Structure formats: C-alpha cells, structure tokens
Amino acid sequence: MKFVDEARIRVKAGDGGNGCVSFRREKYVPRGGPDGGDGGDGGSVYLVARENINTLADFRVERTFRAERGEDGAGGNRTGRSGKDLEVAVPVGTLVRDNDTGEVIGDLVTPGQSLLVAHGGFHGLGNTRYKSSTNRAPRQSKPGTPGERRTLALELSLVADVGLLGLPNAGKSTLIRALSNARPRVADYPFTTLNPSLGVVEVGPMRSFVMADIPGLIEGAAEGAGLGIRFLTHLRRTGLLLHVVDVLPSEGDPAERIETLARELEKFDQALGQRERWLVMNKVDLLAAEDRDTWCEDIIERAGWSGPVHQVSAATGEGTRELAAAVMRRLEEKRDVEQASEHNTG
C-alpha cells in the first residue's frame, strides 16, 4: 500500500538586472563615450534532496520561495552583481511536478541531488554594447528578462518511522489524531481502523516524523484471526514501535493485554518482536491523580515490562507533546548512529 505526503509551493527565480545608459564624464573630455554596464543575472531556484528531512510538513507553513534579483548595471562599465541562487531542501524521494501542466520535472532519489525548477532571468545590456562606428553615442539599453515563475506539486511516498500497535479500543486512532495531521475514523467499538493510517508529527522546524496507526490486533492475529496479519507487514520498516494500552480494566486486564500483543508479534516475526518498543499507557486522565502512578506501576510490574514508559491521555492531549519530543530525539539518535556506521564502513 502506498502512502503519499503532498505539498504545493510557489517558486520565483530572480529577475535579471537592467542594463545602464551612461556616458563618461571626464575633465577635458567634452564628449565621453558610452560606459553603461550590463545588469547581473537573476538567481535560479533549486530543490536539493537532504537526508535529515523526513516529510513535507514544513512546506505547509512556508509556501513561496524567491531567488535574488540581479543588480542593475552602472556607469563606468560596472556590471551588476548576479543574484544568489536559492536552494530549497526537500526529503530524499520527492517527486516534483509542474502543478499547472502535470509534467514531471524530476525525481530526487539520492542525497545531495539537485533539481533546477526555476531559471533566473538573463541580464540586461548596457549602452556600451550598442556602440558602433555609426552609433558612437547610443542611448539604448536592454532590460533584464523576468525570472521563471512556477507552482510545483511535491509528492513523497512515505514509510513510517514509528508504528502504533495495540489491541482494539486501546486509543491508537485518537492518539494519532492528537499527535499528527492524520484524521482516522474514531469510534467506541473494535476495529475502527480498517486500514493503516499515516500521520506527520511535527516537533519543530525541519523536525518531524511519520507515524502509522496499524489496525487493532487480537489474540490469534499471527494465525489470521481478526483482520489477519497483512497489516503487521507495515511495521517491519518502522524504526520504533509504540505499544498503546488502555490502562482501565474495562477491556480486560491491561497487563494481560500487553503480554498478548507481545506474543502475537513474536509469533508473526521474531525480529519484529525484538524491535525497540515503548509502552504508551493511555487514558490516564480517567484515573484519580493520586492513584495514577501506583496503578500504572502495578501494570508494568505484572506485565514484566522493562522498556521506556509514557503516560498519556490521547483524548485531552496530556503527555502527548512530551511523547512526540522523546520519539523525535530517539529517531535522531538512531539516524546519527546509522550514518556514522555507514561512514566508517565506507
């Protein structure tokens, strides 16, 4: 199944600087010749693939990107400075289309790859260029040409960095709504999520990750019970699993539910069962504040859980921001380790 993150942006290359009409003004030279300089070229706009960006989330805030205009020429045959090119960082794997025509401009598939998406305007010509044996004092110049202007459609096929898993009614759909821009169906009955939902979790500028809500599992899922195992394959490519459990006993003993899901993962894929997994204890807002820690510690001890634990309320948002920040830090740590390993082996 393909998941796509999309954004639309406007790019405007810099206009070329205008040529100058000027004549030398020197003492004792009553009729100085033309000395108007050319303008500078306008800057172009490039998209550049960067590994440290996972999503197109930032392009939903900043939508217009402009390169610098070329300076106008000046007297004394001074050429205007060319405008600086603008490089816009995008995730590796971004497909770029012209929004108006649908034409594919390029596909940025390797880190560092750049793509010219708007060409800067050409410099204008000063009147020096028009001097000839028959036209010794030209008063004509040429303006710079406009920079290219485009609206671009960006598409990025997403692979989830983080997978949410849990038994039915654990609150995964509500949690992904609280953390991201995903809008899965939410209702108070099992199997609300019939297909995996992906959401982009924004933690800060250029800091975001993709989270997948996997349909609720039940005992026997590894053998095909319930919605079957086809959704578990989506978890194989995630870097971190968040095991969401309802801390209330209304759906059964929370400790037993934690153990049930762990067994299903091990049955389906031993490597998946050993993937880094954090426990997210949901619906803590429904517990008395003075009893919350004791209640959660009892569940953790009976389930034999030894990994990281976060207490949250997906419904009220309590603890969700802290959870997102902790996940982002962990993903960045893992990414740094992987890049260092690749550098050492290379």
Q: Where in the chain is the domain with CATH 3.40.50.300?
A: 162-345
Pick 162-345's CATH classification: 3.40.50.1460, 3.40.50.620, 3.40.50.300, 3.40.50.720: 3.40.50.300
For residue 187, what pLDDT is reported?
34
Which one, of 312, 314, 307, lies nearest residue 278 by Cα? 307
Dist CA 150 CA 56 (whole Å):
18
Dist CA 232 CA 236 (whole Å):
7
Strands laid side by side in the 162-165 sheet: 197-204, 207-213, 162-165, 240-246, 277-282, 309-311
End-to-end Cα, the chain, rounded Å? 33
Dist CA 17 CA 317 (whole Å):
53
Sign of CA dihedral 39, 40, 41, 44: negative
β-strands 277-282, 197-204 pairing: unpaired
Helix (H/G/I), strand (E/B), else coil: 173? helix
Work out the number of other CB atoms within 10 angstroms of the CB of residue 67. Answer: 27
β-strands 240-246, 162-165 pairing: parallel
For residue 346, what pLDDT is reported?
56
For residue 30, what pLDDT is reported?
58
Please tell me the total number of residues recorded for the chain in this structure.
Answer: 346
β-strands 114-118, 45-50 pairing: antiparallel
Dist CA 207 CA 223 (whole Å):
38
For residue 200, what pLDDT is reported?
83
Which one, of 157, 49, 46, lies nearest residue 111 by Cα? 49
Averaged over successive runs of 10 residues, the pLDDT of the chain (346 residues) comes to 74 98 77 89 97 82 92 95 97 92 92 96 96 89 97 85 82 85 42 56 86 62 44 66 91 89 78 86 94 95 94 94 95 86 69
For residue 29, what pLDDT is reported?
59
For residue 234, what pLDDT is reported?
54
Orientation of helix 320-345 relative to helix 172-179, angle to 10°:
80
β-strands 162-165, 45-50 pairing: unpaired
> Is 0.75 surpassed by the pTM of this model?
no
CA 314 to chain centre: 23
* Burial status of residue 8 (CB atoms within 10 A of its CB: 0-12, 13-18, 19 or more): middle
Dist CA 22 CA 30 (whole Å):
14
Helix (H/G/I), strand (E/B), else coil: 210? strand
Which one, of 3, 47, 44, lies nearest residue 147 by Cα? 44
Helix (H/G/I), strand (E/B), else coil: 192? coil
Pick 4-24+33-157's CATH classification: 1.10.10.10, 3.40.50.170, 3.40.50.300, 2.70.210.12: 2.70.210.12
Q: Where in the chain is the domain with CATH 2.70.210.12?
A: 4-24+33-157
For residue 104, what pLDDT is reported?
94
Q: Which helix (H) or strand (E) holds 95?
A: strand 94-98
